[in-house]
Structure 1
Amino acid sequence: MNTLLRRTALAAALAGLAVTAAACGSAKKSSGSAGGGATSSTSALKIGLLLPETKTTRYEQFDKPLIESKIKALAPNATIDYYNANQDATQQQTQVDTALTKGNQVLILDAVDAKAIQSSVQKAHDAGVKVIAYDRLAQGPVDAYVSFDNHKVGVLQGEALVAAVGAKASSGQIFMINGSPTDPNAADFKAGAHSAMDGKLKIGKEYDTPNWDPNNANQEAAAAITAIGASNVVGAYSANDGMAAGIATALKAAGLNVPLTGQDAQLDAVQRILAGTQTMSIYKPYKPEAEAAAAMAVSLATGQSLSASAAPTTATNGSGHTVKALLITPIVLTKDNIKTTVVADGLYTVAQICTPDFASDCAAAGLK
């Protein structure tokens, strides 16, 4: 889908959510349940926001403020209870319990461990509390899901690496460093990347990295380089930018500068792309994802059903539940489109990207 069509379709979905949420403001409800239930107006809404960790910069820097801002725009007097699990699945289960005790009517949940959180999702469901799976599809009776086409993310990463390695594919090997085995998105990225690379690139070593940890990724990359032989390494697949930072350090220590993928369009990754030490990232516009989740939360908290435009597709989670979903198309980020994507969308300013260390790289890329 081209950029114009993608944004038009997404705008239609968000418009549908906005209309529903606006109608919620005057909706009157007559009954509730032990876990929260319905309310008389948006002034009494209580929404829980549960994010998974802080090692990936997006959650605190973008997702949290964007979700909170949109909820407040739709329901100015709503209460938002925020929790971050610091990559601890047990802590997140406890946080769900706390949210239910506080009377949150809807939970926006980005699961640390999609399987481990299933009992908590069931507990919320039994209490009449709606659960929106955010970015990662949790198991259990989830009511709605907002994310990106995660298989497509992996496909785009794999295709980019195949193109970047080019003719060197026949003379060497790559290594793959995938995301956390407890994150269902990581499995989608991995499957998508394999579908694009298998038969085209030889994969010498492959790792699944607990907690998406950059330090682990650095150690895995160093081990892969040793196992394959530095002279035989022609590329590296990293499932996200946080791990790409650790991999880039290992590559540099081995005297290598080979194609390297990423995801999340982190600021340091944008700078590495400009400097030529990372080939690409996947830009997932956080604002439409965050605002869609916020609008869904306001709608569901006031007892409204999600329209077909708000949740135009479905997804099936690991526990066999079919969930109404909005899946946004990701964008490949390269040196050539930094200005028209992350800068144009206000994710970063040129000044933030083009610090003195990267001034010459920015000038060469026409970024000013």
Structure 2
Amino acid sequence: MRRISVFKGFVLAVCLLALLTTGCQEGEISFNPQDGQNIDDGIKIGFSMGTLQEERWQRDRDIFVARAQELGAEVIVLNAYNDNDEQIKQTGYLIEQGIDLLVIIPHDSEKSTEMVHMAKKAGIKVISYDRLIRNANVDLYISFDNVGVGELMANELIKEVPTGNYVILKGAPTDYNSTMFNEGYMNVLDDYIKRGDIKVVAEIWAKDWAREDAFKCVEETLEKGIEINGIIAGNDGLASAAIEALSEKRLAGKVAVVGHDADLSACQRVVEGTQIMTVYKPIEKIAKAAADAAIKMAGGQELFVLDKINDGKYEVPYLMVRPIPVTIDNMENTIIRDSFHRMEDIYINIPKYLWPKE
């Protein structure tokens, strides 16, 4: 069950205040200043990133920084390289630099609570960006519908392979998003598993999203002589490793694989037929909204957020963006239309006469 409560009574107020745009539709989350409103000069934001390992995090960083700078703020970005102790040390450094607000992409959803406590002790508000910090009572959590991401992936795999043997490659156990993705998978798969239509023949957590863990799991399952019909991979990096293992047995394209993040290489695999889908998470929306929210919060303005999520101990404001499933059928109308990736890059390995007609 999702632990999200929605305060519908706030909807009218939010619309009137124009804090959420375009008729308060889900996913339209820009916090653009109202006409005549001045942004305080001299705002300094600390952006603590647990990793830049995946392609998408570099986009998040660049868009967030560009938007914050556009609004007159300074951003100090630090990367902890998947080291929680280092991220805690870096948080101390950011606080010493006199930041007005702290944005955290946590490496460890549990241990990162210490960073929130450090910031709050210094009177600094905290945004938990994309990954939820547990038991910390952050001032804002902004992310995608992560349970929904898992549901989209499992539904697409079920459509392609309604019966058979599944492998589930979950993400990092320290990343609470992995837990939410898995909740989404099981929301869809539970009934199929109980009926005996689907059998999960292998299931792992990939430490720090390590691709080698995913590769090893698929490789060892195949070497045991177990047939694999479908693979759910916790992100496109794990999907890539799974497909590499399948390729060594000449099974790439013969086993249905799903992932998410819409990495360029994943989009290429989708149109080439070795991965049946990815999930597009509009990073520009979330990164710009986070920057806008950070500016407002640092300036002492109140945000009206409709949703809340339980972080294990507290109900925290949750600004949610809807994810979009992407297959070969809607690649042009999603990824390419939004200029997330260019057609010529996605279809680089496909003869041009087979490209979609623009």
Q: In which range does the TM-score fall when normalised by the shorter chain?
A: 0.7 to 0.9
Provide the residue aligned with 1:274 in structure 2: 271
User: 1:365, CA displacement in angstroms?
Assistant: 5.2
2:307 is matched with which residue? 313
Runs of 4+ displaced beyond 6 Å: 5-8
Deviations 1:348-367 (A, max 9, x none): 11122222xx122x643526
Q: Higher helix share goes to which structure?
A: 1
Match of 1:130 in 2: 125
Q: Distance between the aligned counterparts of 1:316 and 1:281, measured in 2? A: 27
Contact kept? 2:65, 2:75, Cα under 8 Å:
yes
Aligned pairs, how many?
Answer: 330
Alignment correspondent of 1:259: 256
Alignment partners' CA distance in 2, 1:178 and 1:6: 35
Match of 1:199 among 191, 194, 204: 191
Paired residue for 2:299? 302
User: 2:299, 2:36 → 1: CA distance?
Assistant: 11
What secondary structure, in the 3-state scheme, does the structure 1 residue paired with 2:246 have? helix
What secondary structure sits across from 1:43 in the alignment? coil
Shift in CA distance, 332/122, structure 1 to aligned 2, threshold 3 Å: same
Asked if structure 1 preserves the Cα contact closer than 8 Å seen for 2:150 and 2:183, the reply is yes
**Does the 8 A contact of 2:130 with 2:141 survive in 1?**
yes
Shift of 1:278: 0.4
Match of residue 13 from structure 1:
29
Give the counterpart of 2:174 among 156, 173, 182: 182
For residues 62 and 26 of structure 2, the distance between their equivalents in structure 1, rounded to whole angstroms, comes to 20
Q: In 1, Cα distance between the equivalents of 2:267 and 2:353?
A: 14
Aligned to 1:53: 51
The aligned residue for residue 10 of structure 2 is none
Matched residue SS, 1:236: strand
- 2:144 equivalent to 1:148: yes
- 1:242 maps onto 2:256 in alignment: no
CA shift in 2, pair 1:326/1:367, >3 Å: farther
What is the rounded CA distance, in whole Å, between the counterparts of 2:333 and 2:232 in structure 1?
A: 25
SS at structure 2 position matched to 1:113: coil
Q: Cα offset for 1:197? A: 1.5
In structure 2, relative to structure 1, the CA distance for the partners of 1:82 and 1:20 (3 Å cut) is farther
Asked if 2 retains the 8 angstrom alpha-carbon contact of 1:21 and 1:296, the reply is: no
Question: TM-score normalised to the size of structure 1?
Answer: 0.85
Aligned 1:68-107 pairs, distance under 5 A: 68-75=65-72, 78-107=73-102
Q: Please report the RMSD computed on the Cα atoms of aligned residues, expressed in angstroms.
A: 2.0
Task: Quote the offset at 1:141 in angstroms.
Answer: 2.6
| Separation (CA, whole Å) in 2 of partners of 1:300 and 1:127 | 15
Can you give the 5+ residue segments of structure 2 that lack an aligned partner in the other structure?
Answer: 1-20, 193-197
Distance in 2 (CA, whole Å) between partners of 1:212 and 1:363 is: 37
Task: Give 1:179 deviation, angstroms.
Answer: 0.4
**1:122–1:253: structure 2 CA closer, same or farther, 3 Å change rule?**
same
Aligned residue type for 2:333:
T
| Identity of matched residues, % | 29
Note closer, same or farther for the CA distance 1:96–1:137 as it changes in structure 2 (3 Å cut): same
1:55 to partner: Cα distance: 2.0
Q: What's the CA shift string for 1:89-126, capped at 9, x where partnerless?
A: 11111111111011111111110101011011011011
SS of residue matched to 1:251: helix
Aligned to 2:340: 347
TM-superposed deviation, 1:280: 0.4
Distance apart, 1:198 and its partner CA: 2.4
- Paired residue for 1:334? 327
